Every structure is written in C-alpha cells, then in structure tokens.
C-alpha cells in the first residue's frame, strides 16, 4: 500500500491551528464535540474531524 504524500505531519497540523488562534481542544468544543474528540483525527482516519480541522486552517480535507 502506498502512503498518501499529501498527508500532513501531526505537529504541522497543530502548528497551523495555533497560527489561526486555535487549539485542538478549543476547536473541538467550538464544533460541539468533547475536548479530546479532534485528537482522534490526528491519530486515525476520522473524516468529520479532518474536515473541521481543514476548515479551521483553510485547506481542503
């Protein structure tokens, strides 16, 4: 299986969110989720979470 080269590193995602004024926990709460829910999107496929994070940093999911 070939890895998708468009995937971002977890630290890059967190840094991009911080540049936009977000933390993972704050963005989760803003989306009406538990504070730790969006951490799942950083570790495993979670399409809803990926879309929320992508919208916050201004990129396509």
Write out the DSSP string of the chain.
Answer: -PPPTTPPPHHHHHHHHHHTT--HHHHHHHTTS-TTTTHHHHHS--HHHHHHHHHHHTS--
Per-residue pLDDT, 60: 87
Dist. CA 42–CA 50, nearest whole Å: 8
Per-residue pLDDT, 7: 84
Per-residue pLDDT, 4: 54
* Every domain of the chain and the residues it spans: 19-57
Per-residue pLDDT, 54: 95
Among 3, 1, 2, 6, which Cα is nearest to 54's? Answer: 6
| Confidence (pTM) | 0.84
Per-residue pLDDT, 15: 96
Instruction: List the Cα angle 52/57/61 in 5-degree steps.
Output: 50
Per-residue pLDDT, 18: 97
The model's pLDDT over 2-30, given as tens digits with 9 standing for 90+, comes to: 455 578 999 999 999 999 999 999 999 99
């Amino acid at each position: 299986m070939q890895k998708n080269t468009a995937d971002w590193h977890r630290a890059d995602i967190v840094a991009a969110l911080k540049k936009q004024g977000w933390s993972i926990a704050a963005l989760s709460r803003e989306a009406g989720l538990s504070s730790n829910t969006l951490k799942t999107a950083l570790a495993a496929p979670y399409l809803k979470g990926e879309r929320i994070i992508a919208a916050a940093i201004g990129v396509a999911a």
